Chains A and B, each alone.
Chain A
Amino acid sequence: MPRRFRGGLAALCILSTLVAATACAEDPTSSADGGGDSDTIKVGILHSLSGTMAISEVTVRDAELLAIEEINAAGGVLGKQIEPVVEDGASDWPTFAEKAQKLISQDKVATVFGGWTSASRKAMLPVFERNKALLWYPVQYEGLESSEYIFYTGATTNQQIVPALDYLAEQGHQTIFLVGSDYVFPRTANKIITAYAEANGMQIVGEEYTPLGHTEYSTVVNKLQQAQPDAVFNTLNGDSNVAFFKQLTSVGVTAETMPTVSVSVAEEEVVGIGPDNVAGHLVAWNYYQTTEGERNTAFVEAFKAKYGAEKVTSDPMEAGYNAVYLWAAAVEAAGSTDVEAVKEAAGGISIEAPEGTVTIDGDNQHVFKTARIGVVQPDGQIQEVWNSGEPIKPDPYLTGYDWAEGLS
């Protein structure tokens, strides 16, 4: 054969082999509403397993896998075993959208549990709405959203940020300095905080944003010391929290002289920061490892048994765990994994969660959660110092608050 034909022939052979291979890989039994073969139901798990957000998200994936294991051990859902398909968002928001699309179209999962940063959720939202697929989002966020295709098992602002501000006001802190990472959640949260402050006679004496992954906080700390606020509201996310607290403590700032309240620092992050650097500071969540209750004791024990005795549990992990149980309960109630049926059946579904009773609010697809303010202890655990008594009805658009009018 003439030499000039060989290259083209080789390319043609490779191309046809690839086409044939793809054709063979088509799964003839996959259905549109819940893939896998007839014995299993596939669900997607999409978190950052690498990159700056991995420190927070890997453990949420672990908690979701634990829930799936427990449900499978108890017989599964609709008599079938749940099969998790885990993907890595890599702390890159377009990757979240891409992987979400892959889970929906290729793996044909019944639902996806995933996301952490609001940026990842905003990137995934159009994918889920376009494909009419369900996302369960387990992290506290800035509200002002209520997609029909997302269930939000983390706190919205009136269940976390507003109670934290109420607590600060109650403690007599009048001047607040806002420090946050530069993306949608802190920016929106700070708009809400500013509106609250105006309505309640508090003063915002500074507002600093640093890029995600920023680790040099001397200047921010210097500005804090110049401003001398009564309290700091910290919406930093990821590794920045470690650098911030290490550098804040190194100049001698303590929780007595300048208390901070954080909404993204949980038991897991405290380990990385070092309890000495953050002890005495406040955090606002809906669940702590120390939260009392048999369900929580069982959850913590099961998690430590599966992943190691030195592991800790945190609010987003518990919210991810709840998301799986809530979905399973909704599927049982609906009798199928079909997205529209599950959405119909989900409103009012209630489970006993480690944080207490958790009920889905059918109006906005958020859940009722109790707000709890905690103080970081020197041993790394968080001790609750205040809670809202009853689970708070979620109000993502803050319609129940006059001062929040005009916030988009």
Chain B
Amino acid sequence: MAVLNQLVIGASIGAVLLLIALGLTFTFGQMGVINMAHGEFILAGAYTAYMMQGLVGAQAVPAALPVAFLIAGTMGLILERLVIRRFYGRPLDTLLLTFGVSLILQQLARDIFGAPNVQVTAPGWLTGGIDVAGVQLPYNRIFIMALAVGCVVAISLYLSKLSYGRRMRAVMQNRELAAVTGVATQRVDQLTFFIGSGLAGVAGVALTLIGPVGPSLGTYYIVDAFLVVVAGGLGQLRGAVIAAVALGVINSFVEFWTDASLAKVVVFAVIVAFLQFRPQGMFVLRSRALT
């Protein structure tokens, strides 16, 4: 049942990709801001889980989820107010700036927590797994998949039901028109950035279950996050979900048949080929705006 196992592995890789890309899809899609510091918000979430260990002990990982959301969200908000807002409409400049911010944050993490990796222990109920018809389902992977699904549901409810969410969609569709109808676009931008970065923090907590917690954590995931966002279409929730799962499954099967390095190459090649035919990504916002 290796093939079925790989399918499940593909889904769990997809869940990880979805978590890290979800926040980025909104900040990138909403404001056209290329936030290279997104990986460091993930890092902030991971270190939040590490610090919660001191307070809460074994249940640090689930307890850290809301805390990481707030901390990473606040960091995103500060970044937006201090830096990004001044470079609105200049994507290349924001790219460079946020890259610089990411380097600063990485070194800050090294200075505060030390360069070596730190230990985050998973709670007892997340260790081990179940075996269903020969398919391995570790509890931590199930947790990550559930978390990804939960985040997607929460965000889609937010976008459709809450007035703040609808304003976010309005600004994404047509900024000038939204402003004219009385939506405070700057406020909405701040909120979007807060939520997007907060989601990165949540992803960081989840990643402590399966990977290293060290200052370079963000660099391992940032490229994958951008791949998912670009392939799925900016600001498109459906696109992010489908792109994440598709990339996860492709990666998992190619790796199974060849090896990890080749799998990475193939995934890149697939995305490049896809973008040749559809440069705007899988799903795109259709509006009558002239720009």
Hey, which bits of chain A sit against chain B, CB under 8 A? 49-52, 54-56, 58-59, 182, 208-211, 213-216, 218-220, 222-223, 225-226, 239, 242-243, 246-247, 249-252, 268-269, 271-274, 276
Inter-subunit contact A50/B115 (CB<8 Å): yes
Inter-subunit contact B119/A271 (CB<8 Å): yes
Residues of A within 8 A of B127 (CB): 249-250, 276
Inter-subunit contact B260/A211 (CB<8 Å): yes
Inter-subunit contact B261/A55 (CB<8 Å): no
Residues of B within 8 A of A214 (CB): 260
In the complex formed, the residue of A with least CB distance to B106 is: A50
- The distance from the CB of B120 to the nearest CB of chain A, in whole angstroms, is 8
- The distance from the CB of B40 to the nearest CB of chain A, in whole angstroms, is 14
Q: A50-B110, A208-B259, A251-B129 are in contact. Are A59 and B212 (CB under 8 A)?
A: no
One of B4-12, B62-70, B78-86, B229-237 at the interface: B4-12
Question: Could you say which of A216, A271, A273 contacts B13, with CB atoms under 8 Å apart?
Answer: A216
Residues of B within 8 A of A273 (CB): 117, 119
Q: Mark B248-286, 1 if CB is under 8 A from A, else 0.
A: 000110011001110110000000000000000000000
Q: A55-B214, A218-B252, A242-B211 are in contact. Are A252 and B116 (CB under 8 A)?
A: no
Inter-subunit contact B116/A251 (CB<8 Å): no
Which 3 residue pairs of A and B lie closest in terms of their CB atoms, listed nearest first? A272-B117, A242-B212, A250-B138
Inter-subunit contact B140/A182 (CB<8 Å): no
In the complex formed, the residue of B with least CB distance to A274 is: B119
Chain B, interface size category, equals 35 or more
Q: A50-B106, A58-B116, A213-B220 are in contact. Are A220 and B214 (CB under 8 A)?
A: no
- The distance from the CB of A399 to the nearest CB of chain B, in whole angstroms, is 32
Q: A58-B115, A209-B261, A272-B116 are in contact. Are A218 and B129 (CB under 8 A)?
A: no
- The answer to whether B121 has its CB under 8 Å from any CB of chain A is yes
> Which of A182, A218, A226, A246 has the most C-beta atoms of chain B within 10 angstroms of its own C-beta?
A218
Inter-subunit contact B116/A268 (CB<8 Å): yes
Q: A216-B13, A222-B136 are in contact. Are A250 and B210 (CB under 8 A)?
A: yes
Residues of A within 8 A of B110 (CB): 49-50, 54
Known: A218-B141, A250-B139. 9 other contacts (CB 8 A): A49-B115, A50-B215, A55-B212, A210-B261, A215-B211, A216-B16, A216-B251, A252-B128, A252-B129
- The answer to whether B31 has its CB under 8 Å from any CB of chain A is no
Inter-subunit contact B136/A219 (CB<8 Å): no
Question: Could you say which of B2, B212, B263 contacts A222, with CB atoms under 8 Å apart?
Answer: B2
- The distance from the CB of A237 to the nearest CB of chain B, in whole angstroms, is 12
A273 to B122, CA, bound (A): 11
Inter-subunit contact A215/B2 (CB<8 Å): no
- The distance from the CB of B13 to the nearest CB of chain A, in whole angstroms, is 6
In the complex formed, the residue of A with least CB distance to B252 is: A219
Inter-subunit contact A215/B212 (CB<8 Å): yes
Inter-subunit contact A239/B117 (CB<8 Å): yes
Question: Could you say which of A213, A222, A242, A250 contacts B117, with CB atoms under 8 Å apart?
Answer: A242
Hey, which bits of chain B sit against chain A, CB under 8 A? 2, 5-6, 9, 12-13, 16, 106-107, 110, 114-121, 127-129, 136, 138-141, 209-216, 219-220, 251-252, 255-256, 259-261, 263-264
Question: Could you say which of B6, B119, B260 contacts A272, with CB atoms under 8 Å apart?
Answer: B119
Inter-subunit contact B209/A246 (CB<8 Å): yes
A272 to B2, CA, bound (A): 30
A268 to B118, CA, bound (A): 10
Inter-subunit contact B140/A239 (CB<8 Å): no
A210 to B262, CA, bound (A): 9
Q: A49-B115, A213-B220 are in contact. Are A219 and B212 (CB under 8 A)?
A: no
- The distance from the CB of A273 to the nearest CB of chain B, in whole angstroms, is 8
Some 22 contacts from A to B, beta carbons below 8 A apart, are A49-B110, A50-B107, A54-B214, A213-B219, A213-B220, A218-B13, A222-B136, A239-B211, A239-B214, A242-B213, A243-B212, A246-B210, A249-B127, A250-B139, A250-B210, A252-B128, A271-B117, A271-B119, A272-B116, A272-B118, A272-B214, A276-B121
Residues of B within 8 A of A49 (CB): 110, 115
Residues of A within 8 A of B139 (CB): 250
A272 to B211, CA, bound (A): 10
Inter-subunit contact A211/B264 (CB<8 Å): yes
- The distance from the CB of B255 to the nearest CB of chain A, in whole angstroms, is 4
Residues of B within 8 A of A209 (CB): 259-261
- The distance from the CB of B119 to the nearest CB of chain A, in whole angstroms, is 5
Residues of A within 8 A of B9 (CB): 218-219, 222
A51 to B119, CA, bound (A): 18
Residues of B within 8 A of A54 (CB): 110, 115-116, 214-216
- The distance from the CB of B139 to the nearest CB of chain A, in whole angstroms, is 8
Residues of A within 8 A of B259 (CB): 208-210
- The distance from the CB of B277 to the nearest CB of chain A, in whole angstroms, is 27
Inter-subunit contact B121/A219 (CB<8 Å): no
A246 to B260, CA, bound (A): 18
In the complex formed, the residue of B with least CB distance to A211 is: B261
In the complex formed, the residue of B with least CB distance to A242 is: B212
Question: Could you say which of B129, B210, B251, B261 contacts A215, with CB atoms under 8 Å apart?
Answer: B210
Inter-subunit contact B210/A247 (CB<8 Å): yes
Inter-subunit contact B12/A218 (CB<8 Å): yes
> Which of A208, A216, A251 has the most C-beta atoms of chain B within 10 angstroms of its own C-beta?
A216
> Which of B120, B140, B212, B259 has the most C-beta atoms of chain A within 10 angstroms of its own C-beta?
B212
A50 to B108, CA, bound (A): 11
A268 to B116, CA, bound (A): 8
> Which of B114, B115, B128 has the most C-beta atoms of chain A within 10 angstroms of its own C-beta?
B115
In the complex formed, the residue of B with least CB distance to A221 is: B136
- The distance from the CB of A240 to the nearest CB of chain B, in whole angstroms, is 8
> Which of A55, A210, A213, A273 has the most C-beta atoms of chain B within 10 angstroms of its own C-beta?
A55
- The distance from the CB of A236 to the nearest CB of chain B, in whole angstroms, is 11
- The distance from the CB of A284 to the nearest CB of chain B, in whole angstroms, is 21
- The distance from the CB of B97 to the nearest CB of chain A, in whole angstroms, is 20
In the complex formed, the residue of A with least CB distance to B128 is: A252
A239 to B214, CA, bound (A): 8
A242 to B2, CA, bound (A): 24
- The distance from the CB of A401 to the nearest CB of chain B, in whole angstroms, is 29
Residues of A within 8 A of B263 (CB): 219
Residues of B within 8 A of A269 (CB): 117
Residues of A within 8 A of B6 (CB): 219, 222
In the complex formed, the residue of A with least CB distance to B131 is: A252
In the complex formed, the residue of B with least CB distance to A56 is: B116
Question: Could you say which of A59, A216, A251, A274 contacts B136, with CB atoms under 8 Å apart?
Answer: A251
